[in-house]
Structure 1
Amino acid sequence: MASTYNRLLFVFIVSVPAAAVIGLPPMMRMPLKRQKMERLDLHHSISMSALNSAMGRQESLGRADVVLENKYNAEYFGEIEVGTPGQALSVVFDTGSANLWVPDNLALSAQGLSGHRAFSPTLSSTYRESRTIFNIQYGSGPVSGVYCSDAVSIGGLKLTDFTFANVDNVSGLGALYTDDATFDGILGLGFGSIAEGGIPTVMQALWDSKQLAEPVFGFFLGDVEQGELVFGGVDPQHYTGNFSWVPVSSVGFWEVVLDSVSVGAEKLLTLTKTRRAIVDSGTSLLVGPAAEVQAIASLMGATVVQKHYGVNCQDSWPSISFSLGGKDFELSGGDLILAQSGGLCVLGIQGLDMPNPLWILGDVFMRKYYVQFDWGQKRLGFALSAGPPTNLV
């Protein structure tokens, strides 16, 4: 997300296959892979959504599955291709921002970031340069460069002459980007009203080019398993029951009205002060106002260990429920555990005070619930996630 709420970045992964809808424009399926965390540094992690370029198995579209090494058990990412011929880059697919940016190869090389793949404009026959400056502000600092236009392929879907940013300054991403080569760029899936520079978003361009069966995309985030991102539809194999629909309350981020947050099946605590929530594939954790998070953590018997809330792994913990559209979406105590170190279990929840208080429902929430992002009707659908993803080879 951009500076609208001074975005704190956490970590995320996606992987992609393609599929076709018979008689209709294609529905793109993208498997996501969850990876083991070698160190816990979520405060500086950059969590966002990402997508694996599908050149793969469907005869009509093709698909490629790409396994990406990763050190964080809180990250989903995948591949797209940029330019002609296509240059493969790993990106995070982030519902909390709306721009696509990729790193410039000369700039990254000069900064000693050769572990990342980067875009080389001189190798693309369809590249069009621009002198318009791109700048996006994250919680830790800026990412900047210049706008340009070129071909962009997401799975079997291809956008020609699409405007994105070629970035030469990634200082705002901090050590996670400079020390680890897990992802290269970010592809935003938020609404156009939050796009820097007012340029068309990827979803807008895909829909305008009539490449999608429906103006929707669906996220399945596997738990220590691959996940799946679907463009143009949803995958029934990855959810159970029907979707519960909640309208987007403010178009920009995927924001909904939050009725309440409660703790425990007996509602030991019910919080109603904060009435906004954003569903963000680009944030690893649940993030809420510091006082509310502290109250919840206290009821769970949590203590602060190195800026994170931890609980005794031998204890039992109450659930947390987020009430959206009049329906409770419950996360059990076990759903909240992000990592374990000996007898300490780290909770995937963090307090963060912002000028306009809100909750961010990140990957911890999205692993429990399959989320359908209905870009066309400006609403969100939630259903229980089901099973490991298919077609992972």
Structure 2
Amino acid sequence: MIFDTITSDVWVPTTAPGHHYLYNHSASSTYQANGSYFNSPYVAGILSGDVLRIGDLELSGQFFGEATDTSRENPSAKFDGFFGLGFDATSQALVETPLHHMMHQGALDRKMFSVYIGRNGNPGELMLEGYDSNWFKGELIYMNTASPVAWDVWLDKIQVGGLSISDGTAVTTSTMAVFVFGLSEKVSRFAEKLGGKEELPGSGVYSIDCAADPPDVTFVVDGHPFSISKVDYILPIMDEKCLLAFVGGIPSWILGTAVLRKFYTVFDMDGKAPRIGLAMAT
């Protein structure tokens, strides 16, 4: 399954070509029927309940989506469902998320989780109840979320080679999305500064010479600068052709793994208000 901080629901496929694992509720002695219809941007189906196991943790009576329609999902995707790490208030299925369910059952001593996105040959890691300091260097920098029901923070500005683009809006973190998505006008300004060329007019997708040497891109978030280099944001797609990991065309900002891969990220709900901590990943 793929873990994502921008969504709140869990769904698993029941029938889909190309998937390695499918859920079959008729083979489960702990299955709980619900039958309510659910619809997400990726799949649709019915709600069901069953035992959910994550590592050594076992969670009974967790409701999730049985995806019977996966026509909107990429058939070549290398995962067998979604595990949302968002908040109850944003659940499209209108059910308690697994994380909050664990908290209410007392399965978690600390209301936090942390994410290391695989890099330098290391596998990725999701850690519940805390963080692993082996995966980062320096101190964690914490920022309160912009919303009490989303893993987002305030984006002050973006700096690229002398160009500074002010923003002042919330940016949402996504451990699933590869790209950084944003407003077309603002993305086009710094994409052009990096030497990118829009693939098709209005597409918001920018190509770049793989041998280019553009400057770092710095996101100033809640007063703290976080920089990524060309190694992070130039994505090879074929021989001698690369894409910039910045895509325009949506009304709000989403920081995908092009940024988050460089930083160990802690998602903390243990205090009075949710907060996100970032430190340079090893």
Give 1:210 deviation, angstroms.
2.1
2:234 to 337, 343, 367: 337
1:156 aligns with 2:66: no
Moved more, 190-199 or 377-386: 190-199
List gaps (5 residues or longer) in structure 2.
none
With normalisation by structure 1, the TM-score equals 0.67
1:200 aligns with 2:96: yes
With normalisation by structure 2, the TM-score equals 0.92
CA deviation digits over 1:177-228, x for unaligned, max 9?
2xx2521210100111101232111110121222223111111112252111
Which has the larger strand fraction? 2
1:362 aligns with 2:242: no
CA deviation digits over 1:51-107, x for unaligned, max 9?
xxxxxxxxxxxxxxxxxxxxxxxxxxxxxxxxxxxxxxxx11110100111112xx4
Task: Give yes or no for contact 2:228–2:259 (8 Å, CA) kept in 1.
Answer: yes
Task: Give yes or no for contact 1:260–1:275 (8 Å, CA) kept in 2.
Answer: no
- 1:98 maps to amino acid: S
Moved more, 272-281 or 337-346: 337-346
1:320 aligns with 2:217: yes
Judged with a 3 Å threshold, the aligned counterparts in structure 2 of structure 1 residues 331 and 181 are, in CA distance, closer, same or farther, namely closer
CA deviation digits over 1:19-59, x for unaligned, max 9?
xxxxxxxxxxxxxxxxxxxxxxxxxxxxxxxxxxxxxxxxx
2:275 to 379, 382, 385: 379
1:287 aligns with 2:181: yes
- 1:203 maps to amino acid: L
3-state DSSP of counterpart to 1:250? coil
Q: 2:9 and 2:191 mapped to 1: Cα distance?
A: 35
Match of 2:142 in 1: 245
- 1:124 maps to amino acid: S
The number of residues matched between the two structures is 276
Q: 2:151 and 2:39 mapped to 1: Cα distance?
A: 22
3-state DSSP of counterpart to 2:154? strand
1:92 aligns with 2:2: yes
Match of 1:256 in 2: 153
Match of 1:133 in 2: 37
Match of 2:66 in 1: 166
Task: Give yes or no for contact 1:245–1:325 (8 Å, CA) kept in 2.
Answer: no
Task: Give yes or no for contact 2:154–2:168 (8 Å, CA) kept in 1.
Answer: no
Task: Give yes or no for contact 1:248–1:256 (8 Å, CA) kept in 2.
Answer: yes
Aligned residues: CA RMSD:
1.7
Match of 2:86 in 1: 190
Match of 1:118 in 2: 22
Judged with a 3 Å threshold, the aligned counterparts in structure 2 of structure 1 residues 197 and 232 are, in CA distance, closer, same or farther, namely same
Task: Give yes or no for contact 1:213–1:233 (8 Å, CA) kept in 2.
Answer: no
Match of 1:14 in 2: none
Task: Give yes or no for contact 1:97–1:253 (8 Å, CA) kept in 2.
Answer: no
Give 1:311 deviation, angstroms.
2.0
Match of 1:216 in 2: 112
Q: 1:114 and 1:385 mapped to 2: Cα distance?
A: 33
3-state DSSP of counterpart to 1:182? coil
